[in-house]
Structures are given as structure tokens and as C-alpha cells.
Structure 1
Amino acid sequence: MLRITADLFSGRPNPVWEVQDEARVRETLRSLRQHEDLLSEGVPAGSGLGFRGFEIESSSDELTLGVGYASSVYLPVGRTARGARANEFAEQLIDLLYRDATAVAPPSELPPLETPIQELLTAELQWAASQGGAASLSDASGQAEQPAQQPAAPAVTCTIEVAPYNPGFWNDNATTRRCNNCYNYASNWRTNDFAQPGLGCGSVYQSLSCDAVTRAALCDGMHHRYDCFPDSEKPRWLVALAVGPGYDYHWYRLMKEGFWGHKPGGTNVRNVDERNRQITDPQTADRGRYTHFCGYFYSCKTQQQRIRGYGC
């Protein structure tokens, strides 16, 4: 059996398929061998938001005999693609998923995507290729959603904590990197189960919109910015939320150095946006497909200890 994961999202779990037919499995492995110059051992360090590639895992060492691979390989696409043929091979994998693979059902509580996943993958692949891997906010259609019911700044601001930028904590251990997402990073709380807003409080988000993800995070215990927490809720981090409507959500956290860090899904923590510019404000950063900026919030001890996911 082959297990194929589309490395697509930052917040919600990535879609997964299984290929059971042995002939198709062996054919796919042979094709991987023919395209080995396009493959890597894992997600390239320069990957950002959006469709990053495919992870292909084999369930049996016998299947990989004569092919020359360990248990898994990664096909980068978009900005980190290892050649012009990478997108062509990715199209072949999308076709394989559509014809010969069985989708692993996501948690039933999560809202469905607005676009069928195969169509979404094809569109994201084409978009990344047309942009040369560089996303731009000005390319998005429609009007950006306004922050959801953000209160006006009061005369007295709140006391918060800021931690030094420490990407190694999240990047250097394979399990920590793979099993913690942007919500974990913004909360500065490692759960190793891809935490989902609202799941810890029993009310996970029901749509991929600013309002829905905001309500879920507030249910977990976050506050809108300027709704202060007492000292008993230390550490209190300043975080920000953006959403790709109907697609996914993404969180950021302010660092002691004055810039913002973020973690695109199960990839490395970074402090630059989609144009490789240091993030001084998530609202004005290039966020790629996450076109709707939802506002700023405070994380707190109660919220951090409450968050959880569906596993990894």
C-alpha cells in the first residue's frame, strides 16, 4: 500500500489517500525512480504557505526492493520544485489519486472544503506554476474580510509577554515539526496532534471564515486584542489570524525581536512572508492564499493548556 499526503494546509489537517492495488503501487514506485532528481527526503526548508508538495509513504519494505527508496519520499512543487518536470509529475499523482486511490476520511467535525479536493489541488498547482512560486496579495479576487468585531484600542494597553525567536524548538525534531501546526505555534504550546481551534472547548470551527475560526479560538480561551488578561494567565502572547475563505486558516505570533513568526502546517517555523520579507505586521505581509485578515488576539495559559487536535 502507498499512503499519499498532499501537503497543502497550514491549520487544518492535510488530505490523505491510500493506494491499495499492488500493480498501481509498483507502477508508481517505478515512476518515482524515473523522477528521483525531483524528489527530496522531506519538506524543503524554503517552503511556505499553500500547496508545497506530496509525501509518498510505502507500507512495506518489500515494495521498495529494487526501487532504491526508504519508507517515504517528498515531491516538492511550486517555489521549491526541483525542476520544470515536477509539476508534470504532480499532475500524474493527482490523476492517480482521482482514479485509483481511496481518500482517508477527515474528522467528521471539520467543515468540508468548498471545492472538491482534486480540483483544488489542480488549481493550486497551476496557480503556483503561473506565479513562479511567489504568491501576491494583489492577485486575490474579491474584498478582504474585515477583522471580526475587534474592539477599538483603549487609552491603556494590556501587558503581554514576548519570547525570543526560537525556531529550533519546532524545526529540529521531526515529530514536533510534523505534528504541530500554526495554531500550536501561535499558542506556543506543543501538543503533537495538530491542534484545531475550538476542539479543546468542544466547539470546533464550522466553516473556514474569520467569524467561525475567531469564535472557536475565543471558545478555547483567547481574547480579542485589548481585552486584557490578568497576570495569573501568563504567558500572554500577541497573535494574529488570517483565513483563506473556504480553504484554511493561518496564525502568527509576535516575537521579542519585533518581527512575527509562523509555522505553515507541518513545516519549519519561519519569520518571512511569501515574498521572503521579514514580517513586521501580519496584516500587511504577503500571506498568499490567506487573503482575509481577521485581526489580533491574545493567547493565555488557560487557552494553551486547553488546545488539542485529532492526532498525527
Structure 2
Amino acid sequence: MLEVELDIFSGMPNPTWTLTYEEEGELTERIQAAPEQVSPLNPSGQTFGLGYRGFIVRLIKDDNGPWSRYQSTRETPFPHEFRVGNVPTDAGSSVAQWLLETSAGRAGVDDELLSSASRGVNLIPPPPEDMPPQSGGSRASKQEQSFEGIRGVWLDPCPDANSLYWDNYATFNAPGVVEKNNCYCFAANHIANRRYALPGLRGGAPAQSMSVGQIASGLDADGWRETCQQPDGLTIAAAIWPGYDYHLYRLVTNGDEWLWAHKPGGTPVIHEDSSGRTLKRTQTGPYTDIWIHPEDCDRGEYSVFVGFYYQANATAKVK
């Protein structure tokens, strides 16, 4: 018996359903015809961003069905859990395309999710070769910036002496950890092994919907504040895909770069936005900078920025 997960959210549970016997047979035939479509959950050489990342297929019961029988014929059986959709293939034989076409109306898969997924797997492109400079200034105050036609404002984080920074992505990307901790776990610097940790759950007031008010209230219940905290603390940023999901970022280095990182769901931590631009400040000359940060970057479907939040902890416990 096979379970299918549409890997599209970062914080909230992904749509998941069980294939019928007939559907399992169809999927088995498609993979048998093109086994190269099967990939590890986090394949090397690919960097996933926010949004659609293909489908995760897992064996939940060995019941001598079509998939189990096919596995028994392979010299090297596939793992019990794998990804499809991230390897280019002919549309007619694509397992992911077939799963997408048969997913409508199942486990909450509506037109918006189908539309988002139909644009393809969100793989982070290589960073651009040349980025034009933009006017900037001292980080001691808000600076209005423009980059590639996008107007933004840089909000100075807490002073260096009052913030804690760890670019500890390797800890969260370790096997057995990466798939069990979501964006909130990383933002809070807490390996909680909570794949769907939720703002407010630890504080007794879990977010009830993916709205600015609910996510803000949930973070407040968990001890996050909108002003710098003493003596030392974490700096994070929150955004939402309205009605569907939330996503969190963490500031991981101090000035002059101010590097941010984030973890899209159960995939590895990254430093880039959805356009492949590194989330940091780049000095391009004595008086010119490029600022790319969570409030003013390409967040894909996470179009509404909630705010910056702070907590006076090296690790903010989450549930």
C-alpha cells in the first residue's frame, strides 16, 4: 500500500492520501518504464526552494500489491520512501504529472495548489552572474532600496552585542534530522523533531489559520516579540501563503553581511530566495549596497510579510 504526499508546504502538513489498488498499479507501471524518475528525498546536486517540490511516495504497508511485487523483482529495491517530479522526463510518462492530474479534490488539493504545482518544481537557480548596484547607506537607520525594479525597506536588526548568530545549517541538514524538522524548528534553533511545529502550540495558543493575525498571535504566545530582547537573542522573520501556509527565516550572521537562512519544509536549509539571490547585504562600492532580506525578496507564494520577531534565547523551544 502506497501513500502519496504533495510536497508543497513549508510549515503546515502537506496534502497526503493513499493510492487505490488500481492507482498503485498505474504508478508501478510508470516507474517500471522510467525508473530514473525515482530520487532520494533530498537528492544531491539539487536545491529546493519554497513551494512545489514534487511528490513523496512511501510504502506504508507491504501487502503484496503491485508495488511490492515489482520491488521483489528488482536487484536493488527502491527505498520505502522516495521523491518523484524533480527529474526532467517526458510529460507522457511523468509519474509526478500523472499524480498531479489525479490529485484534484483529494486531501484539500484545490485549484490554487494545482495551479502552483503546475508551474513545476521550485529548484533554486544558480546565483546571477552580475547584480547591478543600488544606492544604500548606513545600516543604523531604515534605507529605502530598489533592486530589479522592486522597492524595499531594510530594517536594521538588533545591535551586534544583543543578538546571537549561528550559521548552523549543517546541523539541521544532517540525515535523520533534515526531514523531521520544519522551518519553525530551524528559525527557533531547536531540533524538536517536529515536522509540523506550529507557532503558538507550545504557548497554548496555536495558530488557527494562515493569516497575519493568527501567526503573529502564535509567535507572541511562544515568547517572540517585535522589539529587540535582552541580553542576547534570536532574530527571525515570518511570512505567509494566505490561507495555506507560513514560513520563517533566521538571521544567522551579523554585519556587514547580515546573512539569513531558512528551511523549506523537510528539505535542507538554504540562504537563497526563490530567484536564487543570497539573502544578505553585499557592498558593491564605498557608498553602494545590495540588500536582500526576508521582507524584500522573492518568496514565491508566501506573498504576505508578517514581520520581524525576537526572543532572548539561544534556542526557542517549539512544538
What percent of counterpart residues are identical?
28
Secondary structure at 2:119 match in 1: helix
- The corresponding residue for 1:267 is 267
Of stretches 163-172 and 271-280 in structure 1, the one that deviates more from structure 2 is 163-172
Q: Does 1:65 align with 2:69?
A: no
Of stretches 265-274 and 64-73 in structure 1, the one that deviates more from structure 2 is 64-73
Q: For the Cα contact (< 8 Å) 1:87–1:125, is it kept in 2?
A: no
TM-score (norm 2): 0.74
Cα displacement string for residues 115-160 of structure 1 (whole angstroms, at most 9, x for unaligned residues): x41434421122338x9987xxxxxxxxxxxx9xxxx999x96953
Match runs of 1:117-266 below 5 Å: 117-128=109-120, 159-173=161-175, 175-194=176-195, 195-224=197-226, 226=227, 228-231=228-231, 234=232, 236-256=233-253, 258-266=258-266
Secondary structure at 2:295 match in 1: coil
Distance 1:291 1:37, change over 3 A: same
- Deviation, 1:71, is 1.3
Match runs of 1:37-76 below 5 Å: 37-44=36-43, 45-58=46-59, 59-60=61-62, 62=64, 63=68, 64-66=71-73, 68-76=77-85
- The corresponding residue for 1:109 is none
TM-score (norm 1): 0.75
Distance 1:124 1:269, change over 3 A: same
**In the alignment, residue 36 of structure 1 is paired with which amino acid?**
P
Secondary structure at 1:128 match in 2: coil
Distance 1:249 1:87, change over 3 A: farther
Secondary structure at 2:248 match in 1: strand
Match of 2:303 among 291, 297, 303: 291
Q: For the Cα contact (< 8 Å) 2:48–2:267, is it kept in 1?
A: yes
Secondary structure at 1:267 match in 2: coil
- The corresponding residue for 2:89 is 83
What root-mean-square deviation, in Å, do the aligned CA atoms of Structure 1 and Structure 2 show? 3.1
Quote the Cα distance in structure 2 between the aligned partners of 1:164 and 1:153: 18
Quote the Cα distance in structure 2 between the aligned partners of 1:8 and 1:30: 25
**In the alignment, residue 171 of structure 2 is paired with which amino acid?**
F
- Deviation, 1:256, is 1.7
Quote the Cα distance in structure 2 between the aligned partners of 1:84 and 1:160: 53
Pairs aligned (count): 267
**In the alignment, residue 241 of structure 1 is paired with which amino acid?**
A
Compare the two structures and name the one with the higher helix fraction. 1
Q: For the Cα contact (< 8 Å) 1:229–1:300, is it kept in 2?
A: yes
Q: Which has the larger radius of gyration?
A: 2
- Deviation, 1:35, is 2.7
Which consecutive aligned stretches of 4+ in structure 1 deviate over 6 angstroms post-superposition?
A: 131-134
Of stretches 90-99 and 46-55 in structure 1, the one that deviates more from structure 2 is 90-99
